[in-house]
Every structure is written in structure tokens, then in C-alpha cells.
Structure 1
Amino acid sequence: MGEAAGGARLVEGGFATAPATLAVGVATALLLIYLWRRPCRKNASPATPLPPGPWGLPVIGYLPFLRGQQQHVAFKWIAEKYGPVFRVKMGAMNVAVLNDFESISEGYSKLLRRPKALFLDHAGITGVSNLNGRPWVENRRFCVRSVTSGSYGGKTMEQQVEDEAVYLAEKIAEAEGEAINVADLVLPSVSNNVTALVMGSRYDFEDERRVFLDNILVRTIRCLAAGAVISVMPIGLRAITTLFFTKFGQMRRIVDDTRKFFRGVPVGQRADFVRRGLPVDLPDYRVAPTQPGRQERHRTAKD
């Protein structure tokens, strides 16, 4: 009798927990559906028309159907059905895809904005890399002017790239035909062109400043690659990614290291440029063409 009573209580307990389990399951499903259907862009109008495209699955969208194939090939197949401009549900986000030259040219020539750098925005990082709107347009104009000008730093950007290419070829030749990882040389070579533009100086590959900067670049690339998931996550779950041990926490530390690097710009070289009346770096060049009106620098550098 005791065993039977115990079995009855167990069965009754099992039936008693069934409604609670069902309620939790239904609530979870409703929450996931809400997060999936919630607009992912804060400023997007609910009435904004979207191009046609496959809907995919709840929460994860069309991502499972893109596995195992190159993305541009999958988009080519989708474009054959829906046209060159279509929409794909990437996780919780609707992504409009421009899949031919004409639509890409029109989109980038007529739009004032560029795609948001969600990873940097979510990590709380602001700067030239994620400028948008009018500040981005004006900043781009100054960058193009500095690259094409023959007065920048006493050397045109074309000359800088040519000199850096010669240096890269010399470093490859030092291997004397042995197998090497060219990426280890290409990364600092390309970065030297950027530092020459931004700071007016480049560094030999063995320079400790060059090694320090290369380490920052490698860490940044890894964080950006892993951080792409933020673009497809529901907004309600993005707060998890701000924890210190995530890629966003690492990105903040990288920014701190980058600030340390830029504080170490060689003072002697800057003083030499100043004596010659040349812009020292890109921010100086942005002011030079508009002297004495420094307010233009303020407008283009501040978002």
C-alpha cells in the first residue's frame, strides 16, 4: 500500500508539473517570436517597404540555408528568383542585398549613409571608423584630398605605396626561395601605408612599434570576425555580449592599446615637418587647406 501511495504521489506530482512546463515553453516560444519580429533598426519606420526575398526560419532566419556554400553563390541563386535587389533574414535582422553592379553603384552614390558598424557601436567605440551621415561624407572628402595631394608630408601617397612595395619585395627576397607566410609581411606593409598617411611615418618590420601595432591589428581582425554575430542577434539578447570577457570587452582593451601607440608618435619627425611648413599627419592636413577657419576641422572630426 505504501509503495502504491508513493507511486500515486509521484504520478500526481508529474501531472502537476506538466502545466508549469507547458506554460514556460509557451512563454519562451512567444518571447522568441517577439524578438524575431521586433524591428532591429531603431530608426526604421514600420511602414518601410522591404524588397522581396526568402523569409527563413524563426529566430535564425535564412542562416541555415547558407551553410555549406559560398555566400555570393547562394545570393546569385536567390537573385535569379527575386531580382538583383532582395531581402534575406539573417538571424533577427532583415538584410537588403544589392547583387548587381547597377544597384550597388546607385546605392553607394545616392545614399548619405553607409552600413552601420554594429560591432563598434555596441562596444561603445566611436571614431573615424564608424562615422556616418554628413560627417562621414566630409571626412571622406578630406581623406581623398590628402591622398591625392602632392604636398602631404613631402611625398605623394602614390610614392609612399611604391616605396613600401619595394621594401616588401626586399623582405620577401630575404627568404631566398624558402617557403614563408606572405601574410605576415603583407599586413605590416599595408599598415605602413596607413600610418604614413595618418601620422606621417612608417616603421621597419623589426621596429618594436611596428611589432606592437601588428599585434593590435591581428587582435582587432579576430575580434571583428567573431563579433559579426552581433549583427544577427535579437536586440534583447545583445546585452550579454557587453560582458568584460566577450569580444567586445577585448575590443575596448585594444582601443586602449591603440591610444598608447598613437601617443608615441615620434616627436622629432613631427617637428621637422612643422619647420618645413608641411602637414604632419592627416588631422593637420584637414586644417591646412582651410586656414584660418579651424571650425571646419571641428565639424568633420566630431560626429
Structure 2
Amino acid sequence: MELTGLGTLILALVISCLLIYSTWDKLYRKCNLPPGPTPFPVIGNLLHIKRGEMVKSLMEMGAQYGPVFTFYFGQRPVVILSGYRAVKEALIDQGEDFSGRGRMPSVDKIFDGFGVVFSNGERWKQLRRFSLTTLRNFGMGKRSIEERIQEEAQCLVEVITKYKQKPIDPKNILVQAVSNVICSVVFGNRFEYEDLKFLKLLNLFNETFVLMSSSWGQLQEMIPNIMDYVPGPHQKINPIIERMLEFVAERVKMNEATIDPTSPRDYIDCFITKMQKDNEDPTSEFNMRNLVLTVLNLFFAGTETVSTTLRHAFLILIKYPEIQEKLHKEIDSVIGHNRSPNIEDRSKMPYMDAVIHEIQRFSDVIPMNVPHTVIKDTTFRGYTIPKGTDVYPLLCTVLRDPSQFDTPEKFNPGHFLDESGSFKKSDAFMPFSTGKRICLGEGLARMELFLFLTTILQNFTLTSETHFTERDVAPRMTGFANVPIDYQLSFISRVA
């Protein structure tokens, strides 16, 4: 009897699940959302994701359901945009409608809609406008910031030289060099490479990238209501961010104690001065919470994405020594060895420009983009997307769109060169996203990539005892970020 009762219970549960599934399926299809796989109760389309391969799975869904489809993260419908044309139509042609910032459960508990990256509405507009103006005032896109990058690039060359051509993992020195550029703007000073406390903090950035991209991090994004109660590595993300915030808060306190409103030293000084000026304005978004979280946004984004791209770059150039050799020849011809590279050299170095663009396209550091949301009920390609629905414009499908790039899965600088060898732009080049939410630091990142990479190759040849395969250099295409494999290389001096 007990077995019969258990069998009846199981049968009842199966029938109930099938009924719920069937009802959800019918309701879902009446909403005029884009097509997509039918979700299961509670877990949504979780079972349609191959273990640890969210990005690859979503790309495959795009091939099956088309460039606009609906995918359920748990019980929450999310619209996925795949391919250049769909992403362009949404983020540029209907840019205002898609200008909201979507949810990221892995970090939302801390940011909670504050800070320039994760805010919306008037708060976002105020913070973005102020940040763009302040960063420009501190040299973003100007000669002054170029000089800071040049100085840091020479510091990096000095540090590399001390290793005397021994094999090293470039992760630490790259993250320190890149971080020092944004630190000089945000904090008003750089940090020495021997500062182990600061290096430990920077390594937390990479750990956050890795955790958010892991299988655990992907589950956290899809079914947060369940994963919040499941022990695992994803539970370390918020404590790590809290440690970063403590560092930023300490720097803010240091500035508060020594600030001179008539002579701002950095971004923090400018924000504090703005807070004091708007003290009586109830509509102002300039408060301590937005200050600390915006500084962390700038600090994190200005450090991890560029340093990760450079790590991809070194790995790719080791794999393809013939490309590295062509870059050396162009550097020797245009710049030589008697002066530092400057940003004006870029227009005379089409091959270097093409290789850097291809490194960004191929390495695809943020493949899923940071989620958007529609700020009102939106009609898109005949479908209805309700206000507040999150949207993922997949940058990976833009950067690998076969209609835009001849060999999308291969590393090929020719994607950005015309028949005469001149640099050729591509509208589908969107590593910084596009539209109203395009990365604040695009100009700085482009300048850093050119000056750091050109300076390194002016002084060194990159080699490794390890033989890397195409699989080794290809991005993982798993979750939030594409982090390269760990590797070691030697910097062989080219200076006589």
C-alpha cells in the first residue's frame, strides 16, 4: 500500500507539473513577447543552458529562434538580442526606449540602483553627465591623460626589464599598470608595483570577474531566489565587493579631511564639492552612497576590462608570431626606438590599429553586455516588450556576426584592413556596447590599449616555452566575462 501511495503521489506531481507547464506555455504565447523556448515553473529556461556555458547556449538559441527571442531567467522573462542588426535597431535606432539598466542579481544587493553603472532615470542622467564632464576636465581624451599613460607604460617597461627575460605570468603587472591610470584620475595618485596591499585589492577584481563568469555565477543570475540560499563560491562575490568598497570609502575620508574646493585634485574631490554645493537641493543625486559606488564603478571598469584585454593580446601575439613580427616592423618604421609612442602615431600605423581592434573583437571581454531594460512598453520588430523587461544585447553575436566579419571565429586583422592595407572601420565593432549606455571610458581604454601595447612591442618580443593552440587563445564564451587562461611568457629585449 505504501508503494502504491508513493506511486500515486509521484503521478499526481508529474500531472500537476505538466498542467502548469501547459498553462504557462499558452499564457506566455498570448503576451506577444518574442518567441523562445517554453519555460518550466520556478526554474524558467535553466535546463536549456548547457552546464557552465550560458553564452554559447544563448548564441545557439539565437540560431534556432531568430535574432530576437525570449528566455526565462527563473520566472523572469528576458529578451535576448542577437546579431548586429537587432542590437543596432534597439540600442541606436530605439536607443531611448532601451536605455534603462537591467538587473544583475549577483551584484544588485550592494549597488541597489546606485552608482553611475547600475542607476536609472534622473539619478543615472545626473551621475553620467557629471562623470563625463569631470573625466574630461581631468584629461580624458586630452594630452594630459596621454602623458599619464605614456609615463605608466615606461614604468611597466622598467618593471618588465627587471625580470631579465625570465618567464612570468603578466596578470599582476598589467592590472597594476592599467589601474594606475584610472587611479591617477579618480584618487589623484598612482601606486607602486611593490605595494602588495594594493595588488591584493586588484586581484579581487579578477576574482570577481571569474566568479561571475563561473557556473555558480551563471546560476546566480538565472535563479537568484534559489541560489541566495545555496552555499557555493558565488556567495563570495558580495563580500569581495564589500572589501573593495571599504578601500574606496577610506580614500573618500582621506579626501574629505584635506579637500580644497578651489583646487580639486581628483574625481572624488569634485564629487564632494558638488555634494556640498547641492546640499539644500532635494532633487540632487550627489550623496555619499552614489559617490562611493560610482568611484567603485570607475575603478573596477577602468582596471579589469583593459588589463584583461591586454592579457588576451599577449597570448594571441605569442600564438601568432608572424603578426607580432609585422607589428615590430611597423613600429620600427613609424616610431623607431628613440622616443615613446604617442597617440598621433595611431593614424600612421594601420596594422597596429587593425590588430588592436581584432584583439578586442576576438577576445570579446564582456560577451553578454551589461543588461539593459526598456523604460516603457516598447514595440520592437512587431513584438511587445513590457516596461521593466530586461534585455540582453549580446555583444558576442555582434562581434561574431558572419554578415559583418568574413571569418568571425578566427583571429584575423584583415577584418579591419581594406585592400590597400589602410585601416577600415566596422559599424559592428561594439566591444564598449553602443547607444546611450556606451562605456564611459571608451576613449581612455582605446588610448591605453594603443599606448601600452605599442610601447611593450617597441621594447620587447613576446615568447613562451608553451605551445598554445587555437583553442587556448579562443575566449571561453561561458558567462559574464571572457577571462584568458593562465599562462607565462618571456619578454625578450629588442633594445640593443
Question: Normalising by the residue count of structure 2, what TM-score does the alignment of the two structures yield?
Answer: 0.45
Deviation at 1:30, TM superposition (A): 4.3
2:240 equivalent among 254, 258, 261:
254
CA distance in 1, matches of 2:39, 2:190: 48
Matched, 1:18 2:7: no
Question: Normalising by the residue count of structure 1, what TM-score does the alignment of the two structures yield?
Answer: 0.68
Matched, 1:179 2:167: yes
Matched, 1:97 2:80: yes
- Equivalent residue runs for 1:229-268 within 5 Å: 229-233=219-223, 235=225, 237-241=226-230, 246-247=232-233, 249-265=235-251
In the alignment, what sits opposite 1:279? 264
In the alignment, what sits opposite 2:105? 118
Cα contact 1:37–1:92 (8 A) shared by 2: no
In the alignment, what sits opposite 2:285? 299
User: In terms of mean alpha carbon deviation, does 182-191 or 23-32 score higher?
Assistant: 23-32
Matched, 1:206 2:194: yes
Unaligned 5+ residue runs, structure 2?
291-496
Structure with the bigger RCO (C-alpha within 8 Å, sep 6+) is: 2
Q: Is the helix fraction higher in 1 or 2?
A: 1
Residues 257-303 of structure 1 show CA distances to partners (whole Å, capped at 9, x for unaligned) of 2244235439888888738x432332432465798445499415567
Matched, 1:165 2:150: no
In the alignment, what sits opposite 2:68? 85
Deviation at 1:103, TM superposition (A): 3.1
CA distance in 2, matches of 1:33, 1:149: 61
- Equivalent residue runs for 1:62-77 within 5 Å: 63-64=47-48, 66=50, 71=55, 75=59
In the alignment, what sits opposite 1:51? 34
In the alignment, what sits opposite 1:197? 185
Structure 1 residues 194 and 246: alpha-carbon distance in aligned structure 2, compared to 1, 3 A threshold: farther
CA distance in 2, matches of 1:268, 1:256: 19
Unaligned 5+ residue runs, structure 1?
1-14, 39-44
Letter of the structure 2 residue corresponding to residue 53 of structure 1: G
Cα contact 2:35–2:70 (8 A) shared by 1: yes
CA distance in 2, matches of 1:298, 1:211: 35
Deviation at 1:203, TM superposition (A): 0.7
Matched residues, percent identical?
Answer: 20
Residues 23-57 of structure 1 show CA distances to partners (whole Å, capped at 9, x for unaligned) of 2564477479869998xxxxxx9985321234477
Structure 1 residues 113 and 178: alpha-carbon distance in aligned structure 2, compared to 1, 3 A threshold: same
Cα contact 1:168–1:185 (8 A) shared by 2: yes
In the alignment, what sits opposite 1:130? 118
Total equivalences in the alignment: 275
Cα contact 1:62–1:88 (8 A) shared by 2: no
Deviation at 1:113, TM superposition (A): 0.9
CA distance in 2, matches of 1:119, 1:298: 28
Deviation at 1:116, TM superposition (A): 1.5
Cα contact 1:119–1:227 (8 A) shared by 2: yes
Rg comparison, structure with higher value? 1
Deviation at 1:254, TM superposition (A): 2.4
Q: Secondary structure at the match of 1:22?
A: helix
Structure 1 residues 176 and 83: alpha-carbon distance in aligned structure 2, compared to 1, 3 A threshold: same
Cα contact 1:87–1:95 (8 A) shared by 2: yes
User: In terms of mean alpha carbon deviation, does 83-92 or 198-207 score higher?
Assistant: 83-92
CA distance in 2, matches of 1:19, 1:34: 22
Residues 47-95 of structure 1 show CA distances to partners (whole Å, capped at 9, x for unaligned) of 85321234477746265465698946962x6545544222234565533
Q: Secondary structure at the match of 2:251?
A: coil
Cα contact 2:37–2:45 (8 A) shared by 1: no
Residues 234-272 of structure 1 show CA distances to partners (whole Å, capped at 9, x for unaligned) of 74x24414xxx5446433432442244235439888888
CA distance in 1, matches of 2:146, 2:282: 27
Cα contact 1:270–1:280 (8 A) shared by 2: no
Structure 1 residues 190 and 49: alpha-carbon distance in aligned structure 2, compared to 1, 3 A threshold: farther
Cα contact 2:68–2:80 (8 A) shared by 1: yes
